[in-house]
Amino acid sequence: MHQVSDFRSDTVTLPTPEMREAMATAELGDDVLGTEPTVTKLEKMTADLLGKEAGLFVPSGTMSNQIAMALHCQPGQEIICEYGAHTYNNESGALAYIAHAQVRPLHGEYGIMDPKGVELLVRPSNIHNPRTALISVENTHNAAGGTIIPHENILALADVAKLHGLKYHLDGARIWNAHVATGLPLTEMCAPFDTISVCLSKGLASPVGSVLVGSAADIERGRYLRKQLGGGMRQSGILAACGIVSITKMIDRLSEDHANTRKLAEGLKQIKCVDLDLTTVHTNIVYFSVPGRESEFDEWMQRLNDRKVLAMYLGSRWRMVTHNDVDAEDVDRALAAWQEILG
């Protein structure tokens, strides 16, 4: 069993032995000077995997999303996204700071935006309104519980974007999880979008990195934005080498994380005071609450830690995430700890 069962996030994954080996042997250059063979290889492989012309390796999902926002929006223009979207809530206000855009959020159900609702938010074209520039979707949707956005919904929103001449972006930090859970080909899932941001450092276990993919022209402009944001890296092939292991070896195993999450969620659901909606448990994330007992959360956190289980709460909800560094035994340990604390 692991020394500590860390369910705080899938970002805590450590590089696998194969990644450490790949780092040690990676062919390196200087990406800012234009010759980094391993970075170039990762960018090309990721673009091919997702069915787009080109890719851009960046330090974080935040930078990747925000480069896309700045590509698609002029200052003062507007973005439509779901109310709980990471780009809107969890990127430190970068939309205002970098793209100088404003947001028109829509409340979705399980992270899914109603296409008619989105269409109503598209601004009429006149001098008083901001211009709507972009629809942004998140799949899987983190705050809604790692929920999968149905492909029909993605296509219906694409129709709205096309009809109104809007750009269409996917925050696909965990698109891998949606792909493995649905069996839909990645190229089909990504086809409707102009740009897609994917994370290598979540379920795919790389230490650092995201890739933005899109048309060759968008990615070329994105390279300037990355440099302006201080994201030009030098021997970044060290990191890209891990990314290549991520996209070639770490995708299919996500089904193990999904099975572990299901087991965890079903076990938690058995505890009487736990409020957990199993219909939101699609992939590797589970949220639950224990209504009326929020004042005890810090004490529970300590008691979990004493039992070598790490989890976290955000407001009134606990979040637990499975990944490559927790297994079925860690799930048993976590369930035993929660039963002791709450049972």
Ligand X SMILES: *Cc1c(COP(=O)(O)O)cnc(C)c1O
- The residues binding ligand X (CB under 6 A) are 60-62, 65, 86, 138, 142, 171, 173, 199, 201, 210
CB of 222 to ligand X, least distance (A): 16
Cα–Cα distance for residue pair 313/334, rounded to 1 Å: 15
Q: How far is the CB of 324 from ligand X (least distance, A)?
A: 16
Distance in Å, CB of 115 to ligand X, minimum? 21
Kindly give the interhelix angle for 17-25 and 237-249, rounded to the nearest 10 degrees: 140
Indicate the residue among 9 and 102 with the shorter CB distance to ligand X.
9
Closest by Cα among 247, 14, 261, 60 to 171: 60
Q: Give the number of other Cβ atoms within 10 Å of residue 2's Cβ.
A: 12
Between 99 and 337, whose beta carbon lies closer to ligand X?
A: 99
Minimum distance of ligand X from residue 207's CB (angstroms) = 11
208/219 with CB nearer ligand X:
208
Cβ of residue 65: shortest distance to ligand X, in angstroms? 6
Which of 52, 86 has the CB closer to ligand X?
86
Tell me the residue nearest to ligand X as measured from the CB: 61
CB of 86 to ligand X, least distance (A): 3
C-beta closer to ligand X: residue 210 or 261:
210
146 or 192, CB closer to ligand X? 146
Write down the least CB distance from residue 201 to ligand X, Å: 6
Which is nearer to ligand X, 61 or 115 (by Cβ)?
Answer: 61
